[in-house]
């Protein structure tokens, strides 16, 4: 697993208060991890902070799963 | 009109978490006031406050007992305290509505004087430093005053009236009075009512200090700073916490065999129409508030055994309230007992009226009145009155009156009766 994936999962566990093993790459923040729309806004802010990147609103709307987040960040940082 | 009784109590105060834990410390003459060590007060003249004792163990406040770590960031401390006091009061009452009908007949009315000042202050700093995008999506709901009622309703599934009062230091009393009327008028059978406050932060301390409202002469001896009616008093001491009661329609409480602490006998209100922070010099606002409450309760002044005074320890306010009490009660003022529990807790602003209602209810239920700490040199005006100096006093209390007066000249008085 990549370093980015580890860090993303750690943030998800901390912010959503879910068990680590539930945070699989295909897990949906809202459907599988109990997030609401405000939680997802905060998650995106936490990713921005952690990875020093900016995630515009239209891109943030498409980040629905753990994998979406990892892919976006890896692309943004490459 | 339907009768309303108190069937549950909860309190998070500078003395302890828990109504009984707080009460025992209050009766033992302990103080919850200490030096502020949670933030920098070097440039603020008042350096002490009544702070909720945190930790794990009996009487200590552990936020995680009431709110998950995940949800904690969605609320400022006043909401956490309010949820905790409501949890305690509901557990104490044994009322756990599960059917649609019961849930729809149970409402919440918990107010706050100030709301989420610490979170407002943090978010302002982000915005002023160009970090607008770092403002949390939870910022607004974390500091809105009615979110105590909102959060409590969500946690416990209470679908009746959901309301909040904001009347500065009269908030807690107004909340309980208004909620009791909702039950009287049939809007609900049960109401969780009270007040919550957590404004002991740099912004709150600086603001009240600027208004010259706070004690500054006892920074080295914090437990002596709140001294209502004492010659040495020099301002109030900020406090934080929450108080809650479960109010219930009398027949509803009786039918389920609930413990009844006391009856909400009456409720009175008034406005000073005088000054934004100072009480009217002749005390007519407090006088009318008390008179209206007695009238509403259908009791005569001589029926009142105990007054839990607003008594904040300010040079001006304490004697004005005393004068109003003397005017209303006449000869009987030498027979009743009156104390200010702010001497031990500090002034919990929007939560004050709620915790003091709890203390008035317990005075009736247990037959003992809490002391006024630090009352060593009563001012001349106190002569002939029992202000319960220094030590608690056993005394049968059938009728208790609790006063709350707030900035803006807003006054509320509650009458509780033994059942």
**pLDDT computed for residue A25 by the predictor:** 95
- pLDDT lower than 70: segments of chain A: 1
3-state secondary structure of B407: coil
By C-alpha distance, the chain A residue nearest B132 is: A45
Residues of chain A in contact with residue B74, where contact means CB-CB under 8 angstroms, are 38
**pLDDT computed for residue A1 by the predictor:** 55
Which ipTM was obtained for this model? Answer: 0.86
Please compute, for residue B291, the number of CA atoms within 13 A of its CA located in the half-sphere on the CB side: 13
**pLDDT computed for residue A77 by the predictor:** 83
Check A41 against B137: CB less than 8 A apart: yes
Q: How far is CA B341 from CA A54, B54, B242, in A?
A: 53, 21, 14
Residues of chain B in contact with residue A38, where contact means CB-CB under 8 angstroms, are 74, 137-138, 141
pLDDT tens column, B124-145: 999 999 999 999 999 999 999 9
- pLDDT lower than 50: segments of chain B: none
Residues of chain B in contact with residue A41, where contact means CB-CB under 8 angstroms, are 137
* A60 phi-psi bin (left φ>0, alpha ψ -120 to 50, beta other): alpha
Specify the pairing of strand B190-197 against strand B162-163: unpaired
By C-alpha distance, the chain B residue nearest A35 is: B70
Residues of chain A in contact with residue B73, where contact means CB-CB under 8 angstroms, are 42
To the nearest whole Å, the CA of B77 is away from the closest chain A CA by: 19
Residues of A designated as active site: 36
Residues of chain A in contact with residue B138, where contact means CB-CB under 8 angstroms, are 38, 42
Residue A38 has its nearest CB partner, among B68, B69, B137, at: B137
**pLDDT computed for residue A30 by the predictor:** 96
Residues 11-30 of B with CB under 8 A from A: none
Phi, psi of A23 (to 5 degrees): -85, 70
Number of domains in chain A: 1
pLDDT tens column, B22-73: 999 999 999 999 999 999 999 999 999 999 999 999 999 999 999 998 899 9
Check A17 against B70: CB less than 8 A apart: yes
Length of chain B: 419
Give yes or no for B138 touching A (CB within 8 A): yes
Q: Which of A19, A23, A37, A42 to mutate to test the interface with B (most CBs of B within 10 A)?
A: A42
Residues of chain B in contact with residue A15, where contact means CB-CB under 8 angstroms, are 70
By C-alpha distance, the chain B residue nearest A39 is: B137
B252 is an active site residue: no
How far is C-alpha B350 from the geometric centre of its chain's CA atoms? 6
Residue A60 maps to which CATH number? 1.10.1200.10
Residue B68 has its nearest CB partner, among A15, A17, A54, at: A17
To the nearest whole Å, the CA of A58 is away from the closest chain B CA by: 15
Residue A10: give the domain boundaries: 1-75
Q: Which of A17, A40, A54, A57 to mutate to test the interface with B (most CBs of B within 10 A)?
A: A17
**Is the separation of the CB atoms in A7 and A51 below 8 Å?**
yes
Question: pTM for the complete prediction?
Answer: 0.96
**Pair of tokens at residue B380:** 């001349």
**Pair of tokens at residue B172:** 């807690």
**pLDDT computed for residue B1 by the predictor:** 86
Edge-to-edge strands of the sheet including B262-271? B162-163, B106-111, B190-197, B241-249, B4-12, B262-271, B410-417, B399-406, B306-308, B337-339
């Amino acid at each position: 697993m990549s370093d980015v994936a580890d860090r993303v999962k750690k943030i998800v566990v901390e912010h959503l208060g879910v068990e680590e093993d539930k945070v699989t790459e295909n897990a949906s923040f809202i459907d599988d991890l109990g997030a609401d729309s405000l939680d997802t806004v905060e998650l995106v802010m936490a990713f921005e902070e952690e990875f020093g990147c900016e995630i515009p609103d239209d891109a943030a709307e498409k980040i629905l799963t753990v994998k979406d987040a990892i892919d976006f960040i890896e692309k943004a940082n490459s | 009109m339907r009768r309303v009784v108190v069937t549950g109590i909860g309190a998070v105060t500078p003395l302890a978490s828990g109504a009984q834990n707080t009460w025992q410390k209050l009766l033992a003459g302990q103080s919850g006031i200490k030096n502020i060590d949670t933030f920098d007060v070097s440039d603020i003249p008042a350096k002490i406050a009544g702070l909720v004792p945190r930790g794990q163990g009996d009487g200590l406040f552990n936020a995680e007992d009431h709110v998950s770590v995940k949800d904690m960031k969605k609320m400022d401390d006043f909401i956490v305290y309010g949820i905790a006091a409501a949890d305690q009061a509901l557990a104490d009452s044994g009322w756990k509505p599960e059917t649609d009908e019961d849930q729809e007949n149970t409402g919440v009315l918990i107010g706050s004087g100030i709301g989420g000042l610490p979170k407002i202050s943090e978010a302002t700093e982000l915005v002023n430093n160009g970090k607008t995008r770092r403002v949390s999506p939870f910022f607004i709901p974390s500091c809105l005053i009615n979110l105590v009622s909102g959060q409590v309703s969500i946690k416990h599934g209470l679908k009746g009236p959901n309301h909040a009062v904001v009347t500065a230091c009269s908030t807690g009393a107004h909340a309980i009075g208004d909620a009791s009327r909702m039950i009287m008028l049939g809007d609900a059978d049960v109401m969780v009512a009270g007040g919550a406050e957590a404004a002991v932060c740099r912004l709150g301390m600086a603001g009240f200090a600027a208004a010259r409202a706070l004690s500054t002469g006892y920074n080295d001896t914090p437990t002596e700073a709140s001294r209502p009616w004492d010659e040495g008093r020099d301002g109030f001491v900020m406090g934080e916490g929450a108080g809650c009661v479960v109010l219930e329609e009398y027949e509803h409480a009786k039918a389920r065999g609930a413990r009844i602490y006391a009856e909400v006998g009456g409720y009175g209100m008034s406005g000073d129409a005088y000054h934004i922070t100072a009480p009217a010099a002749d005390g007519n606002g407090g006088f009318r508030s008390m008179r209206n409450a007695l009238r509403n309760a259908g009791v005569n002044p001589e029926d009142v055994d105990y007054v839990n005074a607003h008594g904040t320890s300010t040079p001006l306010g304490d004697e004005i309230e005393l004068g109003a009490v003397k005017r209303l009660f006449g000869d009987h003022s030498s027979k009743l007992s009156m104390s200010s529990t702010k001497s031990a807790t500090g002034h919990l602003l929007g939560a004050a009226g709620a915790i003091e209602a709890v203390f008035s209810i317990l005075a009736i239920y247990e037959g003992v009145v809490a002391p006024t700490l630090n009352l060593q040199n009563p001012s001349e005006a106190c002569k002939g009155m029992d202000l319960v100096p220094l030590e608690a006093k056993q005394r049968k209390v059938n009728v208790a009156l609790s006063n709350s007066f707030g900035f803006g000249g807003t006054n509320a008085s509650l009458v509780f009766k033994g059942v």
